[in-house]
């Protein structure tokens, strides 16, 4: 549930194709910032997640999970792509590349199911993620850390 003091977070449901794509890109941009607090503010204060084998609830636990994640997943770069939408729900597929502290690169693939409240905050997030070790020479995400450039290839364009 969103607090009354928080301004709505457009675009709001029900989503059109255009607004669903916009919501997905906004999420991608926030996650590519690797700022746990910024990311957490897109979720309701009591948001429920399933992220791999973790089940955080609420913004404080989301921030803790993301801090651990980005301390482990170095040089993280993410691309999200709309898969489906209906009403207040969006389905997303994604891939991100990162390396561990030993220098091993990975490409993590996954799907997310999102459910939003009437004010545009995500109330529920279910993520399924698989990690594939890759050689550094197999990386496909080479933009500078931060927001993916608008002219960078999408997951579909990259054959992912």
**What are the pLDDT digits (tens) for 120-157?**
999 999 999 999 999 999 999 999 999 999 999 999 99
| 159 is a domain residue | no
**What are the pLDDT digits (tens) for 63-114?**
999 999 999 999 999 999 999 999 999 999 999 999 999 999 999 999 999 9
Cα end-to-end span (Å), the chain: 35
| 151 is a domain residue | no
**What are the pLDDT digits (tens) for 2-18?**
666 799 999 999 999 99
| 42 is a domain residue | yes
| 106 is a domain residue | yes
| 59 is a domain residue | yes
Tally of domains in the chain = 1
Q: What is the mean pLDDT of the chain?
A: 97
**What are the pLDDT digits (tens) for 8-64?**
999 999 999 999 999 999 999 999 999 999 999 999 999 999 999 999 999 999 999
| 9 is a domain residue | no
Range of the domain at 27: 17-138
CA atoms of 43 and 123, how far apart (whole Å): 6
Residue 62's CB is within 10 A of a number of other CB atoms, namely 23
What predicted TM-score, i.e. pTM, was given to this entire model?
A: 0.95
CATH number of domain containing 98: 3.10.450.50
| 3 is a domain residue | no
Place of tokens 């927001």: 147
| 50 is a domain residue | yes
**Smallest Cα–Cα separation from 89: which of 110, 114, 111, 122?**
114
């Amino acid at each position: 549930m969103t607090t009354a003091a928080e301004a709505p977070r457009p675009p709001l449901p029900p989503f059109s194709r255009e607004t669903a794509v916009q919501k997905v890109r906004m999420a991608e941009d926030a996650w590519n910032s690797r700022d746990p607090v910024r990311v957490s503010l897109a979720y309701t204060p009591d948001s429920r997640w399933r992220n791999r084998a973790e089940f955080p609830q609420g913004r404080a636990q989301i921030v803790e999970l993301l801090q651990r994640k980005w301390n482990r997943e170095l040089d993280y770069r993410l691309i999200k792509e709309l898969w489906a939408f209906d009403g207040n729900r969006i389905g997303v597929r994604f891939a991100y590349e990162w390396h561990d502290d030993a220098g091993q690169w990975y490409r993590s693939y996954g799907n997310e199911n999102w459910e939003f409240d009437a004010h545009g905050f995500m109330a529920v997030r279910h993520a399924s993620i698989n990690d594939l070790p890759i050689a550094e020479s197999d990386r496909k995400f080479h933009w500078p850390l931060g927001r993916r450039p608008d002219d960078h290839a999408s997951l579909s364009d990259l054959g992912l």
